[in-house]
Amino acid sequence: MNAIDLFCGCGGLSLGFMKAGYIIKKAVEFDQPIANTYKLNHPEVEVIVDDIRNIDTTGVFKNGDADIIIGGPPCQGFSMAGARIRQGFIDDPRNYLFKHYYNVVKEVRPKVFVMENVKGMKTMQNGKIFKEILGTFSDAETMEGNPYHLYYKVIKALDFGIPQKRERLIIIGTLISDIDFDTLWEDTKQEIQKEYSDYFSPVTVWDAIGNLPKVTHDGLIESPSSMTSYQRYLSGNKSIITNHTQSNHSAKVIERMQQIGNGQNYTQLHETINSVHSGAYGRLCWDEAAPTITTRFDTPAGGRFTHPVENRTLSPREAARIQSFPDDFVFYGAKREISRQIGNAVPPKISYFLARLIEKILEKS
Encode pLDDT of 349-365 as tens digits.
999 999 999 999 999 87
Number of domains into which the chain is organized: 1
Average pLDDT over residues 117-125: 80
Choosing from 8, 10, 75, 285, the catalytic residue is 75
Is position 342 within any domain?
no
Residue 292 lies in a domain: no
Residue 75: per-residue pLDDT:
60
Mean pLDDT of 221-233: 97
Contact 313, 298 (CB under 8 A): yes
Domain contains 326: no
10 catalytic? Reply is no
Q: How confident is the model at residue 82 (pLDDT cuts 50, 70, 90)?
A: very low
Report the C-alpha gap between 28 and 7 in whole angstroms. 6
Confidence at residue 206, expressed as pLDDT on a 0 to 100 scale: 98
- Residue 177 belongs to a domain: yes
Task: Answer whether residue 153 is part of any domain.
Answer: yes
321 domain residue, yes or no: no
**Under a CB-based contact definition with an 8 Å cutoff, are residues 70 and 113 in contact?**
yes
Gap between the Cα atoms of 198 and 1, Å rounded: 27
Residue 228 lies in a domain: no
Close Cβ partners of 46 (under 8 Å, ≥ 6 residues apart): 25, 26, 27
Domain that holds residue 21: 2-198+348-362
pLDDT at residue number 91: 56
Assign residue 41 the CATH number of its domain: 3.40.50.150
Q: What percent of the chain has pLDDT over 90?
A: 78
Handedness of CA 360, 362, 363, 365 (dihedral sign): positive
Domain assignment present for residue 249? The answer is no
- Sign of torsion over alpha carbons 321, 282, 9, 167: positive
pLDDT at residue 78 in the model: 52
